[in-house]
Amino acid sequence: MMFWYHHGAGGWGWMAMSIGIVLFWGLVITAGVLLFRALARPAPRNGERTGWGPGPAPDRHPTAEQILAERYARGEIEDEEYRRRLATLRSAREGPAK
């Protein structure tokens, strides 16, 4: 019976253990959430920067041909219109005929 009186962790000991357990589980849960978020992050596409060190800057301004190709892929324009606009873009890029 002597163990329960004056030899155990007093009131402050119980308070310190309670705070310690809350901090411990808080750290475990935080580490689990951070690990889950790191593993669930999608892989970077070609040329996309991950934020972890140096790498090529992402292409912020797509070219007119890329935009036209995206519209064609989404089905917004037909084959004939795509080819016509692509030919117009390529002839404008090459410059006027002399």
Cα separation values, 84 from 75, 89, 91, 93, Å:
15, 9, 11, 14
Structure tokens at 1: 């019976």
Candidate from 4-13, 32-41, 88-97 with smallest mean pLDDT: 4-13
Q: Are 64 and 92 in contact (CB under 8 A)?
A: no
Structure tokens at 98: 């002399």
Helix (H) or strand (E) holding 10: none
Q: pLDDT digits over 25-66, tens only?
A: 999 999 999 999 989 877 766 656 555 555 555 557 888 899
Q: Mean per-residue pLDDT for 76-81?
A: 93
Q: Are 85 and 79 in contact (CB under 8 A)?
A: no
d(CA 63, CA 84): 17
pTM, 2 dp: 0.39
Res 6 pLDDT > 60? no
Cβ-count burial of 58 within 10 angstroms (0-12 exposed, 13-18 middle, 19+ buried)?
Answer: exposed
Under DSSP, is residue 5 helix (H, G, I), strand (E, B) or coil?
coil
Return the pLDDT at 14: 80
